[in-house]
Structure 1
Amino acid sequence: MTTLTHDRPVGARTGLGLVLAAASASSFGLSGPLARGLMDAGWSAATVVAVRVLLAAAVVAPVAAVQLRGRWNLLRRNISLICWYGLLAVAGTQLGYFNAVAHMQVGVALLIEYTAPIAVVGWLWFRHRQRPGALTVVGAALGIAGLFLVLDLRSGLSASWVGIAWALGAMVGAAGYFVLSAHGDGSLPGTVLATGGLLIGGLGLLAAGAAGILPMSATTDTVAFQGFTTQWWVPLLVLGLVTAAIAYVTGIAATRLLGSRLASFIALAEVLAALIFSWLLLGETPRPIQFLGGALILAGVVTVRRGEPG
């Protein structure tokens, strides 16, 4: 598998990486509207996330077992990577984000979390001496400016220092997702990393709920979306299969093909995807300024791509 990946021409690898990154961002973007429907029906955010990631782990586990082919030594060699991925990239991000929105507006918390690409660029610069070029800096500025417009933050929003601290924690977790996804020598299959991380992350969220850090509640009431209702298990299955299992596996594969920096900027499209899905499922109509923001995000991604080394 690794040999085939390296034998593929660079252009083909980049094209495949872009497709996988777009699929990952779109899948992640669907999670918010689906989870919102469940939470409006009485589910707590922590319960939705915990069930989502544990269900995804169960779905991906058989594929991971086949790819391991009995090479359990790979798990032993990469146990620290798997644990960090589960605790930081999965559980840490979700824990930080949901605690942030308990103290501040959702838009502000999401904006702080999605400054993660800047953190990735900074980490690669200071830790690995990968200094960003001028085009990367310009692309970063365009992407962040686009986020401001997509989120359409209005004046007068207030935020507590506690909420800001939690949102910064979510940002660190999101940055860790991209850095850790590209980490390692390539011997550990992406599905194995995803399975281990999802399992550890889900158990970590359950532990946080048991400790009283996050509220845990669920109901069997029908879930209402824009123009239709459905049984509670339908959005839950989509959350586990599409927005977690597919999203994490394609995200890891994309990051390994594109690198942490470029993949993290393409993931900004998740905000635009969430906006579109919210429009379709929740009736939250985007405003023209948000479409302009989406165009700036795409321009930022293209600019970062041109600024990446060959």
Structure 2
Amino acid sequence: MTTMTHDAPQGVHGSRMSGGLVIALVSALSFGLSGAVGRGLLDAGWSSGAVTLVRVGLGAAIVLPIGVRALHGRWHLLRRSAGTVVAYGVLGVAGAQFCYFSAIQYMQVGPALMIEYTGPAAVVVWMWLRHGQRPSRLTFAGAAVAGVGLVLVLDVVSGTDVSLVGVLWALGAMVGLAAYFVISGSHDNGLPPMSLAAGGLVVGGVLLGVLGLVGLLPMTGTTADAVYDGRAVDWWVPLVVLGVFSAAVAYVTGIEASRRLGSRLASFVGLTEVLAAVAFAWLLLDELPGPLQLAGGVLVLAGVVVVKLGEQDVAAVVDRPEPTPA
């Protein structure tokens, strides 16, 4: 017994584990950059829908040629995995972002993010119920520690009035986030990470464009400068940064990390995106985290480490040879 269905610390040891963690952190940093960079555009007069569409569209344009080349003419892989690519684009790319932006129309950003980032817990539950992969006690403990850390990082301990409609949209974003990690971590489709990322970004971009055309997602833009910590930059600079780093790099590295680490561990390492978002907000927007947020950041990192230890225990059990009958 040497494999785990769909979520695999299967043979994930040594340099592969270390490399996966590095790649997962690159993905989290790239995703975390989007909030602070996008904020400058939003303050300049861009709508969230327009920023998201340009971000995903540019990412698709960058990754698509590489994704096509990575197939090496094996178009049957794409045909066979068409449903997976569509699900990834609809849920993991467009769905998560659209639901999140819809949520913050009805509730504050902090509570919306808190609900969305229960996605890693949803991944653990899904892998347990769907594939019988019961988490270890360390995984449960790490999830609890990281959850407490997120509450502090997002500064929602004071309590706020929450809209039911906003909560439902935020839960939709959570489903999209969980789907992103589960689909990214699947080895069944055989698609190279570049090809899956390209297909998902194309599908997500098309869907966001359609939502804009029918009026469900407002699309407004401007050529006014974006301002970061008192410094003005041309409007196209943050758009390029979003397209290259927060879309192309983020999604490709996210898929590769999930395949190396498995969906559960990758999803918890992805929690460091919140820390990255706070750090970039400090550097670019001069929004300095408070003491509670910094303490929460330490707890998130501690939770990720504990989850990693728990996943190693699961891998050891899975990879243990079955006894040979005497």
When normalised by structure 1's length, the TM-score is: 0.96
Matches within 5 A, 1:1-310: 10-185=13-188, 187-308=190-311, 309-310=314-315
- Contact 2:77–2:189 under 8 Å retained in 1: no
Deviations 1:135-184 (A, max 9, x none): 00000000000000001115241111100000000000000000000124
Q: Provide the rounded CA distance (Å) in 2 between the counterparts of 1:249 and 1:110.
A: 23
1:40: Cα distance to partner?
A: 0.4
Q: Provide the rounded CA distance (Å) in 2 between the counterparts of 1:158 and 1:291.
A: 24
Query: Matched residue of 1:132: which SS?
Result: coil
What is the identity percentage for the equivalent residue pairs of Structure 1 and Structure 2?
56
Aligned positions, number: 304
Q: Which amino acid aligns with 1:133?
A: S
1:185: Cα distance to partner?
A: 2.4
Equivalent residue, structure 1, for 2:318:
none
- Contact 2:12–2:261 under 8 Å retained in 1: no
Bigger Cα Rg: 2
Q: Which amino acid aligns with 2:120?
A: P
1:249: Cα distance to partner?
A: 0.3
Q: Any unmatched runs of 5+ in structure 1? A: 1-5
Query: Matched residue of 1:224: which SS?
Result: strand
- Structure-2 change in CA distance of 1:303 and 1:274 (3 Å): same
Q: Any unmatched runs of 5+ in structure 2? A: 1-8, 316-326
Q: Which amino acid aligns with 1:191?
A: M
Q: Provide the rounded CA distance (Å) in 2 between the counterparts of 1:187 and 1:151.
A: 37
Q: Provide the rounded CA distance (Å) in 1 between the counterparts of 2:171 and 2:88.
A: 17
Query: Matched residue of 2:134: which SS?
Result: coil
- Contact 2:93–2:201 under 8 Å retained in 1: yes
Deviations 1:248-301 (A, max 9, x none): 000000000000000000000000000000001011011111111010001000
Question: Which shifted more, 8-17 or 57-66?
Answer: 8-17
Q: Which amino acid aligns with 1:31?
A: S
Q: Which amino acid aligns with 1:207?
A: V
RMSD: 1.3
Q: Which amino acid aligns with 1:137?
A: F
